[in-house]
Amino acid sequence: MIIDSSTYLNHELTSFKRQIKPILLITLTMLTIFLGSCSDKQESNDELSRDTVSVSAPIRDVVVASNSETNEHTVFVLSAQLFECHTPSVWNVERIGDLINIEVYNLQPVELPDDCKESLSTTQNEIAIGSKFEIGNTYTVVVNGFTKAFIAGGDNLKTVDVAKQEILEEEKEFLNEVILVPELPAIDVPVISNSVDADWNFDNRTVIVTVLVTTKLEEPVEGLNVEVSLVGPVGPDIQSLTATEITEQNGIATFDAVLDKDGSYMFSVEYINGRGVEFDKNLGESYLQIDIGD
């Protein structure tokens, strides 16, 4: 009886070994393919990382929000991507005293490929900046050069839900404006803001600023998006306004603002894009100081 059982067991083990060998072979083959695929993917990711670079993202809007119960503050940033091969990337936050500096980046190829066409899109960034803010103190947030001041616990702070909605509405409005712009042929020459002039209406404290965009040969360029900022007045209540207008046939984009506080303001041309152009900010006139009051 014991001998018969042993013979039967040996027979079963031999049969099991014969069945398991093909299974092990298939499993090892699949594992080899999988590891090779992972290796190829890693090499592809490494190659992508080597061939891309981070660039500052154009900023469409900045809204500071707070939670009154926890004093947690959040900066909502609407950033833009100007080409199909632009992808939103990381941001960095650095605080020095009452100044919070934020850099928001896009990722793009080191050399833009020929099939990387202009294509404007936007990204909503929700950036936490902490809770260490003293009620009543003024703090300044700078996002890629755009300034937004706020008073902790002040009336100019939004709730988180209101800030989210404001960013969504700004994004929708901006993208609708872009859709309505007639498509003009691409041009392949750099452009400059050839001149920046301001006209006053002192009765209603309104300033109208005109920006003339031309090529370096002073030829006006139509259909370009001109993005500007107006920062001021200098002091604890400093704020930043941003706006975008499109150049007309004469190359002029017109901006207007009501300055309800006396002091010095800085108007600056931040970005010019569209029609495949490159903006040379170092040439021409990009800045204008505006003074109002005594």
DSSP secondary structure string for all residues of 11-59: HHHHHHHHHHHHHHHHHHHHHHHHHHHHHHHHHHHHHHHHTEEEEEPPE
pLDDT band for position 66 (cuts 50, 70, 90): very high
Q: Pick 281 or 4 by higher pLDDT.
A: 281
| 60 within domain boundaries | yes
- The domain total for the chain is 2
**Token code pair at residue 102:** 């934020």
Residues 160 and 202 in one domain: no
251-288 pLDDT tens trace: 999 998 888 788 889 999 999 988 888 898 888 888 99
Distance in angstroms between the alpha carbons of the first and the last residue of the chain = 117
Candidates 247, 249, 205; CA nearest to 228 is 247
What is the extent of the structural domain holding 246?
Answer: 185-294
Last residue of a domain, one of 149, 180, 211: 180
Q: Pick 17 or 103 by higher pLDDT.
A: 103
**Token code pair at residue 294:** 């005594």
CB atoms within 10 A of CB 137: 13
**Rg over CA atoms, the chain:** 29
**Token code pair at residue 60:** 């469409």
Q: Pick 12 or 274 by higher pLDDT.
A: 274
pTM: 0.53
d(CA 47, CA 263): 52
Residue 112 has pLDDT above 80, yes or no: no
